[in-house]
Amino acid sequence: MKFISKLKTNWTITRKFLATLIFIIIIELIINLILFNTTIMYTKENLSNLGAENLTLAFSDYIDFNNNSPFVNEDGKQIILKNNGWIQIIDENFKELYSFHKPAEVPIKYSPIEIAHFYKYDIANCSIFISEKKYNNQSYAYIIGFPLEKVAKHTVVFNPSALKSFFCSGIIILLCVNIVIAIIISYFLFGKSMGKPLENIINGINELSSGNYETKYLEKGVYKNVFTNLNKLGKTLKENKTKRDELEKMRDTWISSISHDVKTPLSSIKGYAELMKDSDYSFSSEEVQEYSDIIYSKSLYIQTLVEDLNLTYKLKNKVLSLSKQKSNLTLLLQNVIIGILNHPLYSNRNINFHSESEDINAYIDEKLFKRALVNLIFNSLIHNDENVQVDISIYKKDKIYIVIRDNGKGISEEDLEHIFERYYRGTNTNTSIEGSGLGMAISKQIVDAHNGSIFIESIIGEGTTIKIALNDKITINSSSI
């Protein structure tokens, strides 16, 4: 069955090619017959240069008369010399009246038979052409000769009846032979050499549509570019599939993490709420306060998760309005660092701040940009031990640059590729740390919303560097992203 299918494919391609080829043969045959009929049957002469005959017919304009005696003017002589020819003017009795540049072998008087003979063949190794000049109701014939290497005449003799017979029977045989040869050559040369690659292309498309992206094709032949693009398409589809699988895996991991993160505080809230609900137990005011604080803090954590989700989707879909105003980034960074150091968990951390100026301004949404900076700095603190040193600097060149550098354990290349993706939690993340996995993604989206750029570099065992590049000229008015 596979062989029959392959044969049908080759024959389908060959049949289409043959239809075109036979049509071309028939058209060419008709054109050839018309040309043959025109040039052979009705033309006695085959001139290599028809310009000589036209020149002869038009040369009468260069023949003048002096006392009824013809002569060639100076322009005419130049034309004769330019063509390496000669001219002879004769009267009605075929006797020479005038000549210019004539070879010695050319006679000065002709008989009618000589004129016919010389015109058909040649004289003095020259082809001659004859025309006339009329003057005072008299006709003067003139002969112009051209060297044989410039103009030559050839006479064709044929049998009209044999030619007619050929057209009646031979042309049909010739047509049939051409068609048979075209079929044979088309199938073995076109059908196989071009049909096989087309079959491979069709099979390749079917393979891609079925999800098989592993097949590689040899990039050669007429369809080299097609096979090249087919291989590129397979590679691209494979990469897209890999990315989709990775994204799906990250999404599943994120959902699992979110579910866990939400489930844990919900369990605490539910447990303490059920405990406080028990009418058989009398709680002291201290216990009520303690349980209430726990329920409140867990509720705040769940609220933070929901707000993070809401924020990242607003940033992604560009529906969040930015309230940009001129802000002192140096002062903003100082306040962020002070706020982090005032946190009980991070009061003993080593954070250094460096600024080349106390007044580096930019138009930003201060609340959102502060959120991005807090996320980035906390990322350096919570994923490293207590001895980590974080250096934060701000300076201005062509743009405003904010650099956050730590000497912590670093981030692997695999995690680094996805560090700014939503839902992603790298292998370096401490599972005891609560978080939505959206912090870095939100930071990048906020920087992007301010037409800035963010870059990250990290080496395992040496630390991580995050650099923000921000334009200092941004539209003051509020804008939507």
Indicate the SS3 state at residue 388: coil
Element of type H or E holding 195: helix 195-209
Indicate whether 37 pLDDT > 80.
no
* Fold equal for 51-147 and 222-319: no
CA distance 273 to 261: 19
Whether pTM exceeds 0.85: no
Indicate whether 349 pLDDT > 60.
yes
What value does the mean pLDDT take over residues 255-281? 76
In the sheet with 126-135, reading across from the earlier edge strand, the strands are 96-100, 86-90, 138-147, 126-135
> Looking at 38-52, 206-220, 282-296, 307-321, which range is the least confident one?
38-52
Q: What are phi and psi of 135, to 5 degrees?
A: -150, 125
What value does the mean pLDDT take over residues 246-252? 74
Place of tokens 């009209």: 160
Contact assessment for residue 254 and residue 423, using Cβ atoms and an 8 Å cutoff: yes
Return the CATH class of domain 51-147.
alpha beta
Indicate the SS3 state at residue 96: strand
Least Cα distance to 340 among 432, 404, 415, 293 occurs for 404
Q: Give the pLDDT score at 47.
A: 32
CA distance 78 to 60: 14
> Looking at 352-366, 420-434, 456-470, which range is the least confident one?
420-434
Indicate whether 6 pLDDT > 70.
no
Indicate whether 286 pLDDT > 80.
yes
Place of tokens 């006797």: 95
Contact assessment for residue 474 and residue 404, using Cβ atoms and an 8 Å cutoff: no
What are the structural domain ranges in the chain? 2-44+158-193, 51-147, 222-319, 320-480
Indicate whether 338 pLDDT > 80.
yes
Contact assessment for residue 392 and residue 376, using Cβ atoms and an 8 Å cutoff: no
Contact assessment for residue 382 and residue 440, using Cβ atoms and an 8 Å cutoff: no
CA distance 389 to 361: 27
What value does the mean pLDDT take over residues 420-446? 62
What value does the mean pLDDT take over residues 129-138? 90
Range 222-319 classified under CATH 1.10.287.130: yes
Amino acid found at 17? F
Indicate whether 62 pLDDT > 90.
yes
CA distance 42 to 429: 98
**Per residue in 187-204, pLDDT tens?**
666 666 666 777 777 888
Q: Give the pLDDT score at 400.
A: 93
What's the number of CA atoms in the CB half-sphere (13 Å) around residue 372?
30
Residue 284 carries which DSSP code? P
Percent of the chain past pLDDT 70, that is, above it, reads 77
What value does the mean pLDDT take over residues 151-171? 72
Compute how many other C-beta atoms are within 10 angstroms of the C-beta atom of residue 431: 8
Q: Which residue has the higher pLDDT, 385 or 159?
A: 385
* Alpha-helical regions (H) of 92-194: 112-120, 160-165, 171-185, 192-193
Indicate whether 306 pLDDT > 70.
yes
CA-to-CA dists, residue 284 to 238, 268, 281, 295, angstroms: 64, 19, 10, 17
CATH for 320-480, among 3.30.565.10, 3.30.9.10, 1.10.3720.10, 3.40.50.2300?
A: 3.30.565.10
Residue 303 in tokens: 């609220």
Element of type H or E holding 331: helix 329-341
What's the number of CA atoms in the CB half-sphere (13 Å) around residue 87?
30
Q: Give the pLDDT score at 390.
A: 93
CA distance 38 to 412: 84
Compute how many other C-beta atoms are within 10 angstroms of the C-beta atom of residue 408: 22
Q: Which residue has the higher pLDDT, 178 or 8?
A: 178
Compute how many other C-beta atoms are within 10 angstroms of the C-beta atom of residue 77: 15
Indicate whether 465 pLDDT > 90.
yes
The contacts of residue 174 (CB under 8 Å, 6+ apart) are 29
